[in-house]
Structure 1
Amino acid sequence: MCTGSCAKCLGGNLITLAVLGSLANILLFFPGGKVIDNNDRISDEVWFFGGILGSGVLMIFPALVFLGVKNSDCCGCCGNQSCGNRFAMFTSSIFAAVGIVGAGYSFVISAVSINKGPKCRMANNTWGYPFQDGDYLKDKALWSRCTEPADVIPWNLTLFSLLLVIGGIQIILCAIQVVNGLLGALCGDCQCCGCCGGDAPI
């Protein structure tokens, strides 16, 4: 497969994951699937916008670059004309690194939130974080410490777990593009497709 085609495939997948990550983050603003009247009762990690900024906005730019690599100037990659494609592939590696940072941010925020647990009304009628060091993950009986909002624990756990998985996949895809982009910058996308042998690029 041409390095440009590989980049385009990765870009398409990253767009889908970015949309899913943003939606998951938006849903977290409705603890337990309900609208609450006080934003202070939403878990702090939700306001860090890991899914919207990290897995979403910061991932859109690399994804668009990956999708556009295949359409860049390609036919002169063998040293006879311009080497626009080589430069485009090198640039995609830089943007892939930006994507890794964004996905890593979302991944870390999600992991911290899962370990910390959601913000909820506790037995003493105050709002806070009743769990410590992920103890509620091992003992479901501890979930009774949260009295409101209803179902906030499975809601947050499911959505932050989804963001954790999305962030992990995005890191892997961007890491692949770092390598793919460097290979494309060195050998040229068209060379891999047989352009140097006189064939038209695919």
Structure 2
Amino acid sequence: MCCSVGFARSLGLALLPLALCCIVANLLLLFPMGEITYIKQDRLASYIWYFGGLGGGGLLMLVPAVAFTTLGKCSCCWNESLMMCGSVLAAVVGLVGSAYCFILSGYALLQGPQCFTSYGWSYPFADQKGRYLLQPETWTRCLQPVNIVEWNITLLCVLLGLAVLEFIICLLQLGNGLVNAVCRPCCYKQEYSLNA
């Protein structure tokens, strides 16, 4: 049990910086190239307002991070079993949050940014199903904000990568918690029968 608790705590500590990075990346999406003009004029892409990184990969990920790091503070066996079950539920919350962040970031990459083109404000890459990602020569269609395509691609790829890491970590703890929930009672029965 001590090994599994230590493993869960290390996973929780790994989740904290990932969640913080997701929050920062999502906040940077709100301010293209560090400017507040576009948020005031409501010229940001619609997907940014769903807060995939801030909510899913960030704040929601703090639930499993805190649950994993505080696991095993009680010495009572019943509490340890209950805490492992709680860590499984927290892992499920983390899986949902990271999946939300991943799906939203992927959709945002496919849609492309809202920007000012020669035809006005629009989503010039929305109908390309992500082909624009491999055609950097087309990115100059976006006149304002300057370098918005590169800005969005970079931050959304960061969010995708962080979401994958968070998902893997929560999946590991889900497996760890389930194995302990199933095996721990069996181990106690065997120890009891050997001692008797």
Percent identity over the alignment is 37
Displacement of 1:116 in angstroms is 1.0
Give CA deviations for 1:66-101 in whole Å, capped at 9, x if unaligned: 011132335x4xxxxxx2111111110111001100
> In 1, are the aligned partners of 2:72 and 2:83 still within 8 Å (CA)?
no
Report the equivalent of 2:70.
68
Q: How many residues align?
A: 185
Displacement of 1:39 in angstroms is 4.2
1:3 has 2:4 as partner? yes
CA RMSD of aligned residues (A): 2.0
Q: Give 1 or 2: higher helix fraction.
A: 2
Q: Distance in 2 between matches of 1:11 and 1:91?
A: 13
> In 1, are the aligned partners of 2:74 and 2:80 still within 8 Å (CA)?
yes
The one-letter code matched in structure 2 to 1:112 is Y
> In 2, are the aligned partners of 1:93 and 1:181 still within 8 Å (CA)?
yes
Displacement of 1:35 in angstroms is 2.2
Question: 38-47 or 169-178, which moves further after superposition?
Answer: 38-47
> In 1, are the aligned partners of 2:9 and 2:69 still within 8 Å (CA)?
yes
4+ runs deviating over 3 angstroms: none
Q: Distance in 2 between matches of 1:67 and 1:186?
A: 21
Report the equivalent of 2:149.
153
Report the equivalent of 1:200.
none
The one-letter code matched in structure 2 to 1:57 is L
Report the equivalent of 1:127.
121
The one-letter code matched in structure 1 to 2:178 is L
Report the equivalent of 2:194.
none
User: Under a length normalisation based on structure 2, what TM-score does the superposition of the two structures give?
Assistant: 0.88
Q: Distance in 2 between matches of 1:39 and 1:57?
A: 27
Ranges in structure 1 where 5+ consecutive residues have no aligned partner: 77-82, 197-202
Report the equivalent of 2:57.
55
Displacement of 1:20 in angstroms is 0.4
